[in-house]
Structure 1
Amino acid sequence: MSGPLYIPVLPARQHATGAFGRLWPDVRAAIRPLWNLPPLPGAAPQTLTTAVGKYVDPVSAVSRHGGWIDAPFGEDAQIAALAEALSAYCEWGRLRPVTGPGRTGFQQMAAVETARRCRRGLGVRVRVPGEWDGRHREDVRGLLSRTGPEVPVDLLLDMGAVLDDRPDAGKEALRALDALMPLAVWRSATLLGGAFPRATAEMLERGSCERSRAEWRMWHEVRATGRAYAPLLRYGDYGVQPPSALGQDPAPGRKGGPPWSVLRYTTASSYLLFKTLTRGPDRIAVNRGAARRITRLPEFRGAGAGEGEAWLSDCANGPLSTGEGVGGPREWLRAGNLQHMTYVVRSLPGG
């Protein structure tokens, strides 16, 4: 079994593609994102090629090392047109199609046929948002029987949001892996979990909060079990947004969104969130103060650690007389993903 070090689950949106494209080359080379097309509600099949291109063209441009492309929010009437539009990026680019249990039979077969034509393999995404459902095993077995041995397959076990209120997530992941790993000679297998929690006003009443990296703990728990597959299991998470954010606009605009947002920072065991302001007379002072709180942490890795830390340092040290370099929700997401993805790669064996 072979594969990359780190598989982040990312939205095919500007802040994520911008962050991925700005990673240092050695970090980017160790990552294969699972890109997710956002919802396209009501889009007619005849217009989907243009709509898909708006999101996937930037993904393809930064994916020289490959990755996967999924359309988990496709409406029933869009499935055929989505499959055709995405197949072009798989056949002529470096992306791989994705399917899994619970998808329509047409979507599954379209993904399999695309994988055969592009010869880069197929991602099998199995979602386990709660307890493992043993029926998924037979669904995956049936899917693999239609795939054939000539198509390399990658297992993407998606545990969704893994927070502290899911203490049995590691056990459920093991149940799923024990059932799924014998079904194929998987080219790679990845355990995916949620990352940063959704920030709320209540959570940030004191200006900041800290949450544990529960999905990081889950991955280590599974790796420590002694299973034959455990040392080969790749790590994945949802970057600096919760799984529910994949289908939402991360920055609807200062007039349409809340008056606050967050700067994010990843440490060895925790996620740290610091309140920022999107508008108001105190915006510059509060936002530079949030960046300074991060740069003064004992765990701060220094401006030379990566593009994310460099941006945070510049923001923290900028003048209060100007808002230049303070950024907004998209810039904060981009900086968060830059520092997070770089740190995860550096923390993994071989990184």
Structure 2
Amino acid sequence: MVEPIYVPVLPTTSSACSAFRDLDPWIGRRIAPLWTVVPRVGPQRVRGVCPPDDPETSEKALQEWLTKRVDGVVRAMGGRGGWLDATHVERVERGAATSLWRVATRSGLRLVTGPERDPRHQRHIADLALAGQRGLGIRVLLDQAPDEARAAELDDMVRRLCLVGSQTDLLLDLGPVTDPQEAQKTALTALDLLGTLFPWRRVVLTSGAFPLTWGGRDAWPVRLTPRLDWSLHQAVAAARPLYPRRVVYGDYSVEHALRANTADTGRSSRVLVRYTTPDDFATAWAPLDGVARAERARRGRATVRSVVDAAFFRGGGDHGDSEAERWMYRCAHGEGPQGSGNAHGRVWAGHVQHLTFVVNQLTGRR
């Protein structure tokens, strides 16, 4: 087994599952995703906060929906390792029970809990992890630098659940990064205070910098947003060159860090093209509200073409680092609705290109 070098936090959407499944095998073996089950219904969840009244009220509907979601993730993983976080659905225990049991005992994935969660649900996830005999992940949400109280909270949870450090992964999650200096301070404090608390099996540091807002009534050409998640990784490595263990890099791929807190409607009224460069996220956007099919295809191709024609684009024709570049090139230079892509395909391409690029970046191939 190849030890993973990269942990992307991915939502359990069909586009993300398809993207991971379609990666080059050499790339896929070096990735261990942290899948977050998106809510089935209701408004956007607040990060780290349990709603007082759970929007999910139907055990039967959740069971049917979650079975399909988990089946898609398990098929995409093909027996490889990673994590699955069911924080948005685990409170409906009967509705989630069958799917979580399957994840724990019949896949290569490990379940996830966190210090801020209900102790009863922590215990449930820990018991499932024990049954699966692969350990579990502890996801610590870090919206600010942790203090001794946060360390004590984590220590108490580990001891109360009788977890073994060597079978437990510490997943340090900074969420959206907007201030590089504050993010670095938070990351270093977390590594020094929490990363050394137990002999963890792995320590993962993940954050997200993909932009949240775009749009308006008008299309825009390519915009560049700095990859602050990647620069944070470099800054932390430079600040702690003698850290006693390897810290695995993580990000949110080409999704905003709060994407998995929102139910997946499957609908889109825009074209959004995503592309990752060494230092930036490139995005291009066009509205589709009230647009006929032929015009939707034209706008879709034109938006993809604005990225393909940019100097940073790698590949053309049958060349490119990944199938995503090859698809984008064909889309940009084709005609008509056939092959012009849709929302699913464009998100798929963004994930495939990003995941491939990051692995190549981490291994020195890019």
TM-score of the pair, normalised by structure 1: 0.90
Q: Which residue of 2 aligns with 1:287?
A: 300
Contact 1:7/1:33, CA 8 A, preserved across alignment: yes
Q: How does 1:187-206 map to 2 (within 5 A)?
A: 187-202=201-216, 206=220
Q: How does 1:139-288 map to 2 (within 5 A)?
A: 139-145=153-159, 146-149=161-164, 152-163=167-178, 165-202=179-216, 206-229=220-243, 232-249=246-263, 252-253=266-267, 257-258=268-269, 260-278=270-288, 279-280=291-292, 282-288=295-301
| Residues 203 and 190 (structure 1), Cα distance of their counterparts in 2 relative to 1, 3 Å cut | farther
- Tell me how far 1:350 sits from its aligned partner: 6.5
Contact 2:7/2:32, CA 8 A, preserved across alignment: yes
Q: Which residue of 1 aligns with 2:4?
A: 4
Cα separation, 2, equivalents of 1:244 and 1:5: 23
**RMSD value, Cα:** 2.3
Aligned partner letter, 1:6:
Y
**2:35 aligned with 1:22:** no
Contact 2:60/2:95, CA 8 A, preserved across alignment: yes
| Residues 46 and 147 (structure 1), Cα distance of their counterparts in 2 relative to 1, 3 Å cut | farther
Q: Which residue of 2 aligns with 1:307?
A: 323
- Tell me how far 1:157 sits from its aligned partner: 0.4
- Tell me how far 1:287 sits from its aligned partner: 2.1
- Tell me how far 1:204 sits from its aligned partner: 7.0
Gaps of 5+ in 1: none
Contact 2:113/2:125, CA 8 A, preserved across alignment: yes
Alignment deviations for residues 16-67 of structure 1 (CA, whole Å, 9 cap, x no partner): 1011111111111111111111113424335543222110001011212121
| Residues 79 and 251 (structure 1), Cα distance of their counterparts in 2 relative to 1, 3 Å cut | closer
| Residues 86 and 21 (structure 1), Cα distance of their counterparts in 2 relative to 1, 3 Å cut | same
Task: Give the paired residue count.
Answer: 342
Contact 1:222/1:230, CA 8 A, preserved across alignment: no
Gaps of 5+ in 2: 41-54
- Tell me how far 1:231 sits from its aligned partner: 6.3
Cα separation, 1, equivalents of 2:165 and 2:139: 19
Alignment deviations for residues 258-285 of structure 1 (CA, whole Å, 9 cap, x no partner): 3x23101100000110113433453333
| Residues 108 and 337 (structure 1), Cα distance of their counterparts in 2 relative to 1, 3 Å cut | same
Percentage identity across paired residues of the two chains: 32
Aligned partner letter, 1:155:
L
Contact 1:203/1:209, CA 8 A, preserved across alignment: no
Alignment deviations for residues 119-168 of structure 1 (CA, whole Å, 9 cap, x no partner): 112101000123435422111111221233376011110000012x4531
Contact 2:271/2:303, CA 8 A, preserved across alignment: no
Q: Which residue of 2 aligns with 1:129?
A: 143
Cα separation, 2, equivalents of 1:282 and 1:207: 18
Aligned partner letter, 2:27:
V
Cα separation, 2, equivalents of 1:225 and 1:75: 38
Cα separation, 2, equivalents of 1:301 and 1:140: 44
Cα separation, 1, equivalents of 2:357 and 2:245: 20
| Residues 233 and 312 (structure 1), Cα distance of their counterparts in 2 relative to 1, 3 Å cut | same
